[in-house]
Structure 1
Amino acid sequence: MDFQVDDRSFTVLAFIAVAVVTLFIGVRWAKREREDPTAVLDWAPEVLIAAKGPPCSVAIIGAGMAGASAAYFCSQLFDSETSVKIDVFESSDHHVGGRARSVECGGRKYEAGASIVHKENKYFVAFCERFGLERRKAVMSSAGIVFRGSTSQRSFRLSGNKILDTFALVRRYGLFNLMKLKRAVARCIEKFTMIYDRQRRGVSYNSPLEMLESLGTAADNLANMLNLSVDDYFIGKCGINNRLVKELVNAGPSEMLGELEAYSILRSESIEGGSASEVRYNNTEVRDYHAVIIACPLESNSIEITGSRTARKAVTLFEAEDHSMCRTVCHYMEGKIRPDIANSGPEAANIAAVLTYEPDANLPWTSIGCQIPVDATQEEAKEIKARLSRGDEVVFKIFTERPLTDAEIDVLIERRSGSGVTKAAVHDWKSGAYPLYHLGATLPPFDLGCGVFATSPMERAASALETVCISGRNAALLVRKFMLEQGLAVSAGNRGV
């Protein structure tokens, strides 16, 4: 007997299907809304500790995101404020926050880094929620993006319309390749997010390699990716089309890594290992601490570590393996993207960004992106997006590896006469914005011995705001472990026993 569906039955079935899907999405959304995003910052009760005698003292060198997160997690580890004393040292007079920095252009402030946060970056999302920081969608999420090859003819454009862009991506790369990419990313995220529960329960790691090996199974974990290039992993292991990896995957880092900024370089300091570490600041003051967290790059500052063979070996390893940072220069100016750069029509309207995906020595820039002031209201942000869609002038940021001349900028951005003087700014991260990665590089340890711990080794595996926060929490956990081993603290539940 044949089963046939008439128009009326089809309408009913379609209505039921839509209702079920809507209900399913609604339940998931409601569950998501009920979840407290800040809960990930809390410790499991059994992890809390209390000073056994006088307050435990911790020195943190560097007030960037690593230092700030380490200080926060250390303060939350102890059962009361009287159990711990934390001092944070920062050499810069006005740049607390490290790579989370803003630049003034035309009387408004624009971010010079630390602006892109993924929804699975649980620590940073939780910090934003806990401290009342506003999050908003990036301009690129609702406007056009151009992915450009070595020439403007080797480029394609996404419009910002989700439906049209989905069809464009499927047509260009194929549905199965896009599904493979989505699955590959989902698998990585699934492994990566294992760290949150483990850190909450007090698990610490002595090295980045030990941490990455624990995220997954013995045969399939994140550490296995350290010796693979982007092409090796996505093309060779995941079987994704070369064109998709080259154009979409390789274009991302040019924008994302450019968002990272250099840590400040500390002035002359000396850390001497022992049961109680000493910090000499500018050789004028000596303070004793039970533990020290170095929350700045080991290889690019004037910190001298004595008394710890492990620490000296770690610094030597950085120097021997050429662990250098990549210079990034951010140029800000008001204008319009020139159509020939984006391979667009007479007016490059509604193009929020141009990302390059092919290395080219003759191309002095890696990405161009529309900017919204950090203090802009939602109404202002909407107005800027409207101006962008009309083809009016807005502020753009250009990422380069060296300063550009005015002539080079004028090739990229059409500016009104005189606007380059009143509405232009440059921020040069001379000491480096992100690490230069090498396949097979040896990762230094977090635990430098004698109560001295570092956060920067994590950046040799992955450099991002979230990984910096993870290394900060790991440093706090290593301090906890050290305090317990030295008999300076006890589990909070055993206090007074």
Structure 2
Amino acid sequence: IIGGGVGGTAAAYFLNELLSKQRHEITIYEKNYRLGGRLHTVNVDNRQYEAGGSIIHERNKYAADLMAKFGLKRRAIRSDDRLCIYNGERFVFCESSWDIVTLIRLLRNYGLDLIRLQKQVNKVIDYFERIYRLQSEQYAYDQVSDLLTAMDSLVYNLTRTSYKQLLQSEYKLSDEFIGQIVQSITLVNYGQTISIPALVGLVSFAGAGSELYAIEGGNKLLPLHLAHFSRARMFLNTRVMSINYLGDHRYRVDSEQISEQSNRSDIYDYVIIATPLASQSNRIRFNNLTKRNELINDIFDKYHMHRTVATFVKGQVLDKYKDLSVLSCDIDRQHGGSFFTSLSKLMPVQNRPPPSTGQSDRNVHKVFSNRRLDHHELYALFDEIDDTQEISWLAYPEYKSVGQPLPPFRVRAGVYYLNAIEWAASAIEMSLIGAKNVALLVCHELNVCQTANNRAANLTLNRVEL
């Protein structure tokens, strides 16, 4: 398994479960010194804060079930700060400290659009939940499009239309609601506008609801526990250089131990790629895969990751931003838009507030942006700055083309691309669903797994033979 993020570690865990009665050995390669991938924390003033994937939805079954198995506790992420939408010049909407006043403002500005969109999102989540039953019956899919269609054809069709078109033409929502509320949510979650595919947009909106939580101690604990209970062998700080097909269902993986600059080669029966294959990433060479080499090169050339910069600032915000969580709805700088996508106060992952230092207004804030911010821009948000840390992520796919074909899970017999699912939508639960799917694909190829239909057919055949 190439990649030690939540997808790769989950694939190892699910495989270990599915193959529990067979002899097997699983190896995880991770180019960094740590597991977790984009689930990571940053240390600011001796406190840990979420830096990557930071939310889990109440209806994310795999995440919830795994947390329960591992004894991980939930951490509430509801903020007392008021939410405000900023267009680069002024606040176009702000919550009140009184819920009834906030409701009146929402109705006055946007009518019932928020309720109508929430209903549509819940409908899509209902369809999504069908995959849990299908995977429990050991159904697996070679293509991302087939997995989405198995949920419902509507889910796949949402990848073929733009979010903006869906909201305007089908849902009949107002331009004000779309351009202010919806776009601000899309920008903070994916750093991109409502021109993205509709499925990505609806997943983004689900990630802005009230039914959200995180893991106490950091969401990174989930991949750490997955890796531990998978019993996989770990090669950390190790970069995979090439995957070579040797024939007879055997693959040689050539890797480099980065710190020691030493090379090694290992032979495997199956390879799962659990890292994005994109133009900006370190390119893995694929050799002797015949016609599949063209497919892989096509993935590298046509699919790109979106860079998001998270800047962590300990200091005092300007009075205009005090006790506010700010989302930008316009990042077009040529037309007066904002240079950041969000500004929010953070709580540490330990589920308790920082100790009192006598400087109660010196909190840690996270600023999301699509590029690095200079000191002038930071001081447009903060009155005083004590410390800053910056993390630049290739955080999620660049969803720039509606109707762009989704990459396959199955590259060829024995080679699987787990992260293909990200091009449908990127979230922790999506990675877990993709991990379960590729684990089932391997299990089927080993003739260990059978769907309920196949089991019934085999039972019928056995009766006929008897």
Alpha-carbon deviation of 1:476? 0.2
Computing the radius of gyration from Cα coordinates, the structure with the larger value is 1
Structure 1 consecutive aligned stretches of length 4 or more whose deviation exceeds 4 Å: 258-261
Alpha-carbon deviation of 1:208? 1.0
Secondary structure in 1 matching 2:161: coil
Alpha-carbon deviation of 1:132? 2.5
Alpha-carbon deviation of 1:310? 5.5
Report if aligned partners of 1:310, 1:448 keep a CA contact under 8 Å in 2: no
Secondary structure in 1 matching 2:167: helix
Q: Distance in 2 between matches of 1:178 and 1:199?
A: 33
Report the AA paired with residue 389 of structure 2.
Answer: A
Q: Distance in 1 between matches of 2:6 and 2:12?
A: 10
Report if aligned partners of 2:29, 2:239 keep a CA contact under 8 Å in 1: no
Q: Distance in 1 between matches of 2:176 and 2:184?
A: 12
In the alignment, is residue 318 of structure 1 matched against residue 299 of structure 2?
Answer: yes
The percentage of aligned residue pairs carrying the same residue is: 28
Aligned to 1:271: 243
Secondary structure in 1 matching 2:117: helix
Aligned to 2:364: 395
Q: Distance in 2 between matches of 1:225 and 1:210?
A: 13
Q: Distance in 1 between matches of 2:252 and 2:77?
A: 45
Q: Distance in 2 between matches of 1:443 and 1:232?
A: 20
In the alignment, is residue 214 of structure 1 matched against residue 150 of structure 2?
Answer: yes
Aligned to 2:224: none
Of residues 306, 310, 329 in structure 2, which corresponds to 1:330?
Answer: 310
Q: Distance in 2 between matches of 1:161 and 1:115?
A: 27
Of residues 392, 398, 407 in structure 2, which corresponds to 1:436?
Answer: 398
Q: Distance in 2 between matches of 1:229 and 1:360?
A: 19
Report the AA paired with residue 402 of structure 2.
Answer: L
In the alignment, is residue 165 of structure 1 matched against residue 102 of structure 2?
Answer: yes
Report if aligned partners of 1:145, 1:160 keep a CA contact under 8 Å in 2: no
In the alignment, is residue 99 of structure 1 matched against residue 38 of structure 2?
Answer: yes
Alpha-carbon deviation of 1:485? 8.6
Report if aligned partners of 2:10, 2:432 keep a CA contact under 8 Å in 1: yes
Report the AA paired with residue 397 of structure 2.
Answer: P
Of residues 250, 253, 267 in structure 1, which corresponds to 2:183?
Answer: 250
Alpha-carbon deviation of 1:169? 1.5
Seen in structure 2, the aligned counterparts of structure 1 residues 279 and 248 have a Cα distance that, compared at 3 Å, is: same
Alpha-carbon deviation of 1:404? 1.4
Report the AA paired with residue 77 of structure 1.
Answer: L
Report the AA paired with residue 456 of structure 1.
Answer: N
Aligned to 1:28: none
In the alignment, is residue 359 of structure 1 matched against residue 335 of structure 2?
Answer: no
Show the 5 A alignment for 1:84-483: 84-93=24-33, 95-140=34-79, 142-152=80-90, 154-159=91-96, 161-175=98-112, 177-217=113-153, 221-257=154-190, 267-273=239-245, 274=247, 275-282=249-256, 284-299=263-278, 300-309=281-290, 311-321=292-302, 323-340=303-320, 342=321, 348=322, 350-351=323-324, 353-361=325-333, 363-377=338-352, 380=353, 392-415=361-384, 419-420=385-386, 423-429=387-393, 432-437=394-399, 438-483=401-446
Report the AA paired with residue 333 of structure 1.
Answer: V
Alpha-carbon deviation of 1:268? 4.3
Q: Distance in 2 between matches of 1:233 and 1:189?
A: 17
Report the AA paired with residue 279 of structure 1.
Answer: V
Secondary structure in 2 matching 1:444: coil
Of residues 71, 77, 80 in structure 1, which corresponds to 2:12?
Answer: 71
Q: Distance in 2 between matches of 1:266 and 1:303?
A: 13
Alpha-carbon deviation of 1:470? 0.9
Q: Distance in 2 between matches of 1:125 and 1:255?
A: 24
Report if aligned partners of 2:85, 2:180 keep a CA contact under 8 Å in 1: yes
Q: Distance in 1 between matches of 2:140 and 2:15?
A: 13
Give CA-to-partner distance per residue, 1:209-242, whole Å, 9 cap, x none: 111122214xxx2111112222111221112222
TM-score by length of 2: 0.79
Seen in structure 2, the aligned counterparts of structure 1 residues 328 and 266 have a Cα distance that, compared at 3 Å, is: farther
Aligned to 1:18: none
Aligned to 2:229: none
Secondary structure in 2 matching 1:85: coil
TM-score by length of 1: 0.74
Give CA-to-partner distance per residue, 1:373-406, whole Å, 9 cap, x none: 12243xx27x89xx99xx8231100011222122
Secondary structure in 2 matching 1:178: helix
Q: Distance in 1 between matches of 2:238 and 2:424?
A: 23
Alpha-carbon deviation of 1:115? 1.0
Report the AA paired with residue 104 of structure 1.
Answer: N
Q: Distance in 2 between matches of 1:335 and 1:291?
A: 50
Report if aligned partners of 2:75, 2:351 keep a CA contact under 8 Å in 1: no
Q: Where in structure 1 are there 5+ consecutive unaligned residues?
A: 1-59, 343-347
Report if aligned partners of 1:266, 1:303 keep a CA contact under 8 Å in 2: no
Q: Distance in 2 between matches of 1:448 and 1:455?
A: 10
Report the AA paired with residue 126 of structure 2.
Answer: E
